[in-house]
């Protein structure tokens, strides 16, 4: 399910970055029993932005973590589900028939590490938006018009033109899920980490642009499976 809303103004956005009670203990528990599955659920509350100019590529950060013991060499399937929210605002301001543009970009990327090894298929885009807005306006003419007394021609004083504006704001939240796979993990306790990063970008000429992204609630489930022997789980380019 996806919720989308369009608004025409914004004010007072608070920023908070954090993960609450989601990390596994730093030292593995040798007495941990073997299991076929494990899960973790949390309210992640990861927020990045706003970015109003330039690009911001976020660092990878662990948002969910768990451990599982395998009694023999097995394969792991890790299912990650997250709420990913994007906010983009673009405003174009134009006069005199000049074209003005504004661009806002936001994305949430996710990967899974098992004992530091990246699980297939690697980095996955859970949500991304590239919003571009352009406008070409003559401008508001109030007070900028006069009539030549000799010819009767209408004269426009461009120095008195006021810019016309058009603005687009989008605020969306969607829940997405993806399966990550790592084959041939050995015997013992394995640490599974779900990592996320947020990338933002914004640029504007005479107008304004803003980008922001969030990760809300999330969950991970880890299943121990035995796949077909020597199966290749990756696709050739």
- What pLDDT was estimated at residue 127? 96
232 within domain boundaries: no
What pLDDT score was predicted for residue 59? 94
Number of domains in the chain: 1
Which ranges of the chain have pLDDT less than 50? Answer: 1-28, 237
Residue 124 CA to residue 111 CA, distance in Å, equals 6
4 to 8, 47, 97, 202: CA distances (angstroms): 14, 18, 33, 21
Asked whether the CA dihedral 179, 118, 200, 12 is positive or negative, the reply is positive
pLDDT value of position 142: 64
Instruction: Identify the pLDDT of residue 123.
Output: 96
Report yes or no on 6 lying in a domain.
no
Q: Is residue 237 part of a domain?
A: no
Full domain range(s) for residue 190:
19-47+59-138+146-225
Q: Kindly state whether residue 193 falls inside one of the protein's structural domains.
A: yes
């Amino acid at each position: 399910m996806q919720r989308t809303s369009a608004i025409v103004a914004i004010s007072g956005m608070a920023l908070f970055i954090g993960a609450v009670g989601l990390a596994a203990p730093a030292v593995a528990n040798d007495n941990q029993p073997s299991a076929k599955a494990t899960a973790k659920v949390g309210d992640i509350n990861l927020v990045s932005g706003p970015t109003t100019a330039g690009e911001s590529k976020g660092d990878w950060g662990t948002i969910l973590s768990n451990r599982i013991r395998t009694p023999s060499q097995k394969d792991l399937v890790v299912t990650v589900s997250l709420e990913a929210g994007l906010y983009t605002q673009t405003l174009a301001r134009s006069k005199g028939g000049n074209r003005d543009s504004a661009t806002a970009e936001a994305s949430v990327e996710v990967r899974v590490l098992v004992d530091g090894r990246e699980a297939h298929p690697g980095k996955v885009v859970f949500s991304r938006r590239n919003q571009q807005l352009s406008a070409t306006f003559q401008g508001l003419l109030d007070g900028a018009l006069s009539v030549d007394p000799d010819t009767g021609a209408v004269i426009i004083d461009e120095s008195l033109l006021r810019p016309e504006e058009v603005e687009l704001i989008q605020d969306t939240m969607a829940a997405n899920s993806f399966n990550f796979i790592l084959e041939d993990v050995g015997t013992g306790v394995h640490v599974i980490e779900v990592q996320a990063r947020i990338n933002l970008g914004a640029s504007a000429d005479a107008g304004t642009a803003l980008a922001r992204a969030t990760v809300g609630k999330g969950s991970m489930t880890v299943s121990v499976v035995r796949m077909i022997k020597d199966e290749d789980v990756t696709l050739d380019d």
